[in-house]
Structure formats: C-alpha cells, structure tokens
Structure 1
Amino acid sequence: MLESTGSCEAAVAQLMELGASEPQARAFVRSVAADWLKNGYFFPEHLRTGEPCGQHRYQIGPSSFELRYFGNADPATGEEVLGAFRPAREHAAARLDVIGRDEVDFLFLGGACLGMHSREETPAIIKAIATEELSAQCETGFLMHGALLSVGGKTIVLAGHPGAGKTTLTLALAASGFDYAGDDIIHVSPEGRVLGLPFAAATKEGAWPLLEKYVPDLMDLPVRRRADDKLVRYVRPANTDAVERGIDFVLLLSRHPGASPRVESIDPVEALCFLLEGSFSQRRRIETPDLKSFAAAIGGAQCGRFTYSDLDPAVAAVKSLVSA
C-alpha cells in the first residue's frame, strides 16, 4: 500500500476508506514504515547532501574498506571497531556511507541502502559489514575463526566453542604483555602463515567484571548492541601486532568451573580439524596446496587442549607455557 500510494498520509486515508479507524490506520502505517526504514526498503528524501563530515580508509588484511560520514553521524564510530587497522593507501574496494539524521544512522553500501539503525547498533553493524567485505575480497589463502597473539617472537592461536572465554582470555593476555592481533578472524596465507585482523574485541556483559582488572577503563567505554541483541563494549588493546607469522602454539580452550589450568597435548590433526571447521574461503573451498601448507604449519606447532576456570591462573599458565 505504501508503494502504491506514495506517502504515509495517503496510506492512512486509504485504510480509513476501507473501514479502519484513524488511530488504527496510523498505528499500522507507523509500524510498517518503521520496519521498512529499519530494513532499508525506503529512506527519507534528500538524505545524502553536502560533503562528508569525516572519512577513513582501512587496510583490513587483504581487503580495503572506506567509511564516509554525513549529517550528524559521528566519525569516531568506525574508529571504535576498526581503529587498529592501518590506513589504506589506494582506492578502497568497498565503501560504506553512514548518514546521521536526528538520533539514528542510515547505512549505504555501494549506494544501496542497508537500513536505519540506532546509534548504539552502528559500530557492530560496521564491523559486520567490514567482515563480510573482507570475506568477499580475500582471493588468496583463507580465513579462520580464532584469536591470535604474540610474545617474545612466538605466536599463539586460541580457539574454542562459544562460551569458552576466548575473547576474555585474549584481552587478559593482551594486558599482560602479549601483542594483540585479533580475537575473531585470522588470515591464513597460501604458505600457511597467519596474519591477525585486529578488530576491536566485543566484550559481553557477563565478562565485564572479570576484565575490569585487566582493562581499567572498560566501564567507561560506551555500551553497544549487536545484531543478536547482546550488549557489548568494544576494547582496542594498545599493543597490536599486524605482522604475518608462523604458528608456534595452538590451544583449544575448554572452560570448566573449578578446574585448575592445565594443557593436555593433542594430535596436530585434531587441532587442524577444529580450526578448519571455522574456516572460510571466497572460493567456497580450500585449495589443496593451501591446506598442505597450513597442515605443515600446524604440524610444527605445539598443540594442546587448555582447560581452565579462573582468569588469573589461566593467564599465568599461558605465560609459563610460552616462556618455557
């Protein structure tokens, strides 16, 4: 009806002609319009006018990504989640426009409207879109799910099922002398070397009390809302590492209440299979030479299942393992 009438007022009038009361008609049209705005089916006229009030280009692993801000959008929004990436020198392969109007942001990717969102949702959406573009632009090697840290010239990969505490442990280690290379996505080169992608880490509400000791300003950071409706705070460790490296340690995390921290050696094949379960390639398959190189890299690493409960002993145990 909105498509055929061309305006909300005309749609209200048409509904009233069909027998709806004015309050019923207005409530219905308001609900439909809000849903369509949210999903990008339409947007206000003259939304994108004038020069950008801010602009950033980022080199995210093998991909490049540009953010432009219009209206009253906050140019610091993207920096909150992408600020650890170095600036892209050349024209970006993908461009996202964030257009602020009143208390909401409209997002456009390559000219197509992605919808209207509250300001507390915008950082999470920017991170999600940047991740999708990274996946689309990754033409060599593949991406895998995991955290990457380094210390003393050694590199450690942390992986685990949801709830294993990967992000929390990663941030605690980053605050304890490790260089942070990302807590979510790792690029694996055709030679089997790994490059961390240091997106800001999304800390969930339940982890905030655990991390206050390690991230003193955590509770001062803005609270954001993800697409899964979870509240998060984005943390950007100061000591980031964006260097392609070999793999020295792979730890599969297993968190159990009351467990003392311990590392149980596992077959590299088990570690390889677990990591490949969370891997993605633009070609929807991992090429045989890439797989062989990665398998050789995992085969040369120390692989283990790390069982733990409390954060402080876990940090001490990982530091002891890496320094041995």
Structure 2
Amino acid sequence: MFELNATADLIWRGLADGGTPGQVAKELQTFGVSAQDAQSFVAECVAGWLHAGLLIPAQIVEQAQSPGRESHLRIAGLACTVAIHAPAGDPLPSRLEAVFGQFAAPPSPGTPRFDIVEQAGAYVLLADGAPLGVFAPERIVPEIKAVLTDRLAKSVGDGDFLIHAALLSANRQGLLISGAPGAGKTTLTLALAARGLGYGSDDVVRVVNGERLEGVPFSPASKSGAWELAAPYLPMLADLPIDVRGDQQRVRYAPVSGFGAGEVEQLSWVILLARRPAASAMLEPVEPLFALTELLGSAFAGDGRLKGDVLERFAAQLNGARCLRLIYSDLADGVSALEGLTRG
C-alpha cells in the first residue's frame, strides 16, 4: 500500500481515468501550479510508479503480447516461460542463456510466463502480464533470478522444502555447506567445483520428502569482494559482466557449464562455516541436532510449515552424516580441508 499526498493523488486519479501525462499536468495548472512545476511533478510521479511496477504503458502491453524470443525453463519443480521482446542484437538473450541455460526444458502448457520488454535502454519485466518494474541493464538479470527464486519457493510441493545452503558431491556423496552471509559459502563452492567436485547449488537446496537432496544449480553470484579470492580457481571470472542486485551488491554470475554434475545419492557431510580472522583451517565435530537447527533456520516450505514425518526423515539423514564446523580464514586452506574430507 502507498500513501499519496494531494498532488500525487490527483495525478494518479487523472491517469487512472485515462488521461495522458500532458493532460494531467494541465489539470494541475488549474490549481495554481506553474506549467514547469506541473510537468515536473507529473514526470517524477510517473517515473517512480513505472519503476515500481505500478504503471505500465499500453505500448508495453502490446509488445509483450507480440511474438518474442522464448525460453522454456524447469527449475526444480518450477516450469516457466521467459520471453524477450527486444531488437536484434540486444545482448540480453545471450546473457540469459549464459546464466539460466542449464534449466532449458521442453515447453509445458499452463506454466507461469515472464515477459521482458526493452524500452529506451531499460527493461520492463512482467509476470503473467502484470508489471514488476523497470530495470537498468545491470539490474535485470539479478531481478529475474530473484523472481524465479521466489516463484520456486512458492511452488514447493507438499512434503518438500528448501534450505539456504550449498550442495556439492564427491562420488555421488553429498557435501552440504551452510553459513551466514559473509562466511564465504559461494566462494568455497566455486573453488571446490572448479577443483572437480560436482556442483549442485551454491544457494538453494531442495529437500524432497525429507529423504533426498537436490541442488538448484543457479549460476553462483560471486560478490565483488570475492573476485580476487576466486580468481586462481576461476580465471574467467574477471571477464564476466558485472550485475547489480537489489541489495546493491555488485556480482558476476559464474557459468556452471564447466562444472561436474552434482547428483547426490547420500548425504555424507554437513559443514557449518565459521570464518575467523587469522584462524588456521580446522574441522571440529558438531552435534547433528545443532546442524539441524542451523539448517532449519533458513528453511522454507510452500505451506509455511514442515510435517513431522518429513522432519524426522531429514533429521535421520543428518544423523547418518558427519556434521562439522569449518573454522578458517584463508580460502585455500578451507578448500584443502574440505578436499581432504571428501577424499578421506
């Protein structure tokens, strides 16, 4: 909900009644507002509402209904269509292919649809015809990922849930990594995947019926502060485009095409990260119950709750795995400790 002052309310009602911005500005002048101020007020309000996804020009709706370049994706249990309406030579189709191409799937009828319409150097994003906002080129890819992640979370079926964690595999044995923001989860995951571990996810893991782990292999978003650390493992990272997330973090999306598959038959290791200045890398045991509590702190179920039997099965997985805390400071030492763990 939005609270509007009297001027903004008049502008909104004028547009809602079918008036053009120019007509609304003239109406403002009848209340004693100068022509320059009236035009400025209307332009500022319209721009803000467009970027917030509260308004959408009719021509954008028409463009979104015209044929576009479609991609059909399946992300865990979410099937959807993404259509791009942009001139030939626009870089966005290749950007989306690089970041989301791993989810390519055959078309599925009746699935959510997202349309991206190029407009004056920016992109209007629509979900099933409803506007979500206008985004600069460096903002559109992170926004699409955020929207797809949100839809995925809401699509999680009965008995399944999502956790905020990374998932890798060694000989189909699962390595689950959890850590607070800044603990280095994504950078460790990138380094380990580059060193040969199978890549399942750096951020979202689906727990199926409490019994099976499935990584959701979004392209890892490496933050600017980690680019130098990750460079020895992924030299191409420095050549990738820079995007800006909604939290203003500058990120580069690492391609997953060169990583090994991250299918997991059995969860073998659960790692809780503790990054401490000047600490030598070491692994110390933690109780499975403590690990369970940490992982459930980030869990999301479609109906907002976890069933008791599902939770019991997930707890049994943790009881059968080695639950450890990785205390480390240096990335190379952390990578070496986890490589030694998976080889042992």
TM-score normalised over the length of structure 1: 0.95
Name 1:57's counterpart in structure 2.
72
Quote the offset at 1:240 in angstroms.
4.5
Q: Which of residues 251, 275, 296 in structure 2 aligns to 1:232?
A: 251
Name 2:3's counterpart in structure 1.
none
Alpha-carbon contact 1:155-1:247 (below 8 Å) kept: yes
Rounded to whole Å, the distance in 2 between the matches of 1:40 and 1:26 is 21
Alpha-carbon contact 1:64-1:88 (below 8 Å) kept: no
Quote the offset at 1:169 in angstroms.
0.8
Rounded to whole Å, the distance in 1 between the matches of 2:162 and 2:106 is 20
Name 1:186's counterpart in structure 2.
205
What amino acid sits opposite 2:330 in the alignment? D
- The range that moved more, 92-101 or 161-170, is 92-101
Question: What is the root-mean-square deviation in Å for CA atoms of aligned residues?
Answer: 1.7
Alpha-carbon contact 2:169-2:262 (below 8 Å) kept: no
Quote the offset at 1:245 in angstroms.
3.0
Name 1:323's counterpart in structure 2.
343
* Counterparts in 2 of 1:268 and 1:181: CA distance versus 1, 3 Å: same
Q: Secondary structure at the match of 2:191?
A: helix
- The range that moved more, 121-130 or 241-250, is 241-250
Alignment of 1:114-153 (within 5 A): 114-140=132-158, 141-153=160-172
What amino acid sits opposite 2:129 in the alignment? G
Rounded to whole Å, the distance in 2 between the matches of 1:57 and 1:274 is 35
Name 1:155's counterpart in structure 2.
174
Q: Deviations over 1:80-121 (max 9, x none)?
A: 432222414533621111111220111111111112111111
Q: Deviations over 1:24-51 (max 9, x none)?
A: 2222222111111011222222223374
Name 1:25's counterpart in structure 2.
38
**Once the two structures are aligned, what percentage of the paired residues are identical?**
34
Quote the offset at 1:242 in angstroms.
5.2
* Counterparts in 2 of 1:51 and 1:10: CA distance versus 1, 3 Å: closer
Alpha-carbon contact 1:39-1:115 (below 8 Å) kept: yes
Q: Which of residues 24, 31, 50 in structure 2 aligns to 1:11?
A: 24
Quote the offset at 1:288 in angstroms.
1.1
Q: Which stretches in structure 1 are left out of the alignment for 5+ residues? A: none
Quote the offset at 1:71 in angstroms.
2.9
* Counterparts in 2 of 1:27 and 1:304: CA distance versus 1, 3 Å: same
Q: Which of residues 12, 34, 59 in structure 2 aligns to 1:46?
A: 59
Quote the offset at 1:191 in angstroms.
4.4
- The range that moved more, 63-72 or 14-23, is 14-23
Q: Which of residues 268, 276, 281 in structure 2 aligns to 1:261?
A: 281
Alpha-carbon contact 2:183-2:273 (below 8 Å) kept: yes
What amino acid sits opposite 1:118 in the alignment? A
Q: Secondary structure at the match of 1:177?
A: coil
Rounded to whole Å, the distance in 2 between the matches of 1:287 and 1:88 is 32
Quote the offset at 1:159 in angstroms.
0.2
Name 1:288's counterpart in structure 2.
308
Alpha-carbon contact 2:174-2:264 (below 8 Å) kept: no
Richer in helix (by share): 2
Alignment of 1:77-96 (within 5 A): 77-91=95-109, 93-96=111-114
Q: Which stretches in structure 2 are left out of the alignment for 5+ residues? A: 1-9
Rounded to whole Å, the distance in 2 between the matches of 1:296 and 1:23 is 69
Alpha-carbon contact 2:164-2:298 (below 8 Å) kept: yes
Q: Secondary structure at the match of 2:296?
A: helix
What amino acid sits opposite 2:58 in the alignment? E
Q: Deviations over 1:114-158 (max 9, x none)?
A: 121111111111111111111121113111110001123321000
Rounded to whole Å, the distance in 2 between the matches of 1:54 and 1:259 is 50
Alpha-carbon contact 1:197-1:242 (below 8 Å) kept: no
Rounded to whole Å, the distance in 1 between the matches of 2:102 and 2:170 is 18
What amino acid sits opposite 1:119 in the alignment? P
- The range that moved more, 149-158 or 192-201, is 149-158
TM-score normalised over the length of structure 2: 0.90
* Counterparts in 2 of 1:177 and 1:244: CA distance versus 1, 3 Å: closer
Rounded to whole Å, the distance in 1 between the matches of 2:54 and 2:216 is 33
Alignment of 1:298-309 (within 5 A): 298-309=318-329
What amino acid sits opposite 2:124 in the alignment? F
Q: Which of residues 242, 246, 249 in structure 1 aligns to 2:269?
A: 249
1:98 equivalent to 2:116? Answer: yes
